[in-house]
């Protein structure tokens, strides 16, 4: 069940953030990210992005869990609905995913700060930092998926 939730989370995160980047690139091309107003606009758009991503991931994971449980029960009438018991293996896999996520975010943050010192616009650097957060989540989830598939 956890593998399926990871697939849903990674897919929705990629789709939502790709749409966000597409939209922000258009705003950047139009010059809307310049000056103080650009920073305010970037901040507002990131807050909206966080809300949309959190809400979408929650709703899609709930719907996915319900859908996968119904599918499993229809295919195998003797099975019990998936239990969400977390054992030591799950905790270790979670920690390994978090470890990779922290490393990716740290590298992205350092690259963003280097870009800032090289004269890149502040709104672009802020979007780079948010991008490194999203990339860290995706790579951490892929690492967890790898461990679940490998059998730890």
pLDDT in tens, 46-71: 999 999 999 999 999 899 888 878 87
**Is the separation of the CB atoms in 101 and 136 below 8 Å?**
yes
Q: Taking all residues of the chain, what is their mean pLDDT, rounded to a whole number?
A: 89
User: From the CB of residue 132, how many other CB atoms can be counted at a distance below 10 Å?
Assistant: 19
Contact between 65 and 5 (Cβ < 8 Å) = yes
Kindly list the domain boundaries of the chain, sorted by start residue.
2-150
Share of the chain above pLDDT 90, in %: 66
Q: Say what the pTM is.
A: 0.81
């Amino acid at each position: 069940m956890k593998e399926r939730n990871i697939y849903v989370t990674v897919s929705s995160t990629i789709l939502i953030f790709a749409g966000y980047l597409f939209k922000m690139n258009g705003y950047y091309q139009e010059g809307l990210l310049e000056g103080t107003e650009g920073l305010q606009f970037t901040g507002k758009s990131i807050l909206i992005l966080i809300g949309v991503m959190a809400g979408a991931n929650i709703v899609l994971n709930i719907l996915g869990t319900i859908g996968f449980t119904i599918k499993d029960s229809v295919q195998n009438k003797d099975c019990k609905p998936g239990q969400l018991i977390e054992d030591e293996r799950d905790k270790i896999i979670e920690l390994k995913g978090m470890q990779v996520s922290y490393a990716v975010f740290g590298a992205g943050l350092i690259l963003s700060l280097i870009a800032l010192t090289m004269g890149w616009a502040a709104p672009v650097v802020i979007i780079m930092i948010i991008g490194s957060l999203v990339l860290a989540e995706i790579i951490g989830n892929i690492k967890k998926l790898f461990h679940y598939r490998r059998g730890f």
